[in-house]
Amino acid sequence: MRAVVQRVSTAGVAVEGSEIARIGAGLCVLVAMAPTDGPVQVAWMADRVVGLRVFADGDGKMNRSIVESGGSLLLVSQFTLYGDVSRGRRPSFTRSACAEEAEPLFASLVADLRRRLPDRVQTGVFGADMQVSLVNDGPVTLIVDSPSAPGAEA
């Protein structure tokens, strides 16, 4: 599983011109699933996202998690995070899980995060053509890759 985590002052998602989700200060998380991902990677990613210490403490140092800061999460599925452009100019997405595999994993990640952060998690629409807007705070942007499943190809 791969995530691009951005600390934001605000973020939102629109589908067909209508805003469907908006958060204030918190994290915007773009996430993609690999074919080898499963419940272990979902739990790992949820734990990592809520535990990232990217919010300022009283001394202005990045030392507080989203749990401690009281911020919100906006999760957006984005299979293109596994796009491979090492050959040619058209991206290959063979390292991304197909929609039938990825959708239940994304739903599981959302459910896990909602258990950890009740009433603080918003999402896009899986598989939809979305317009994501955000104001990156800092800017702080991290790429987070979960450990591979045992026996999975590297």
79 is catalytic: yes
Q: Catalytic: which of 78, 106, 122, 123?
A: 78
Q: Catalytic: which of 6, 41, 55, 79?
A: 79
78 is catalytic: yes
Q: In which element (H, E) is residue 89 found?
A: none
Distance separating alpha carbons of residues 38 and 97, to the nearest angstrom: 11
Question: 46 CB contacts (<8 Å, ≥6 apart)?
Answer: 109, 112, 113, 116
* Phi/psi of residue 141, nearest 5 degrees: -140, 125
Q: In which element (H, E) is residue 91 found?
A: none
Active site residues: 78-80
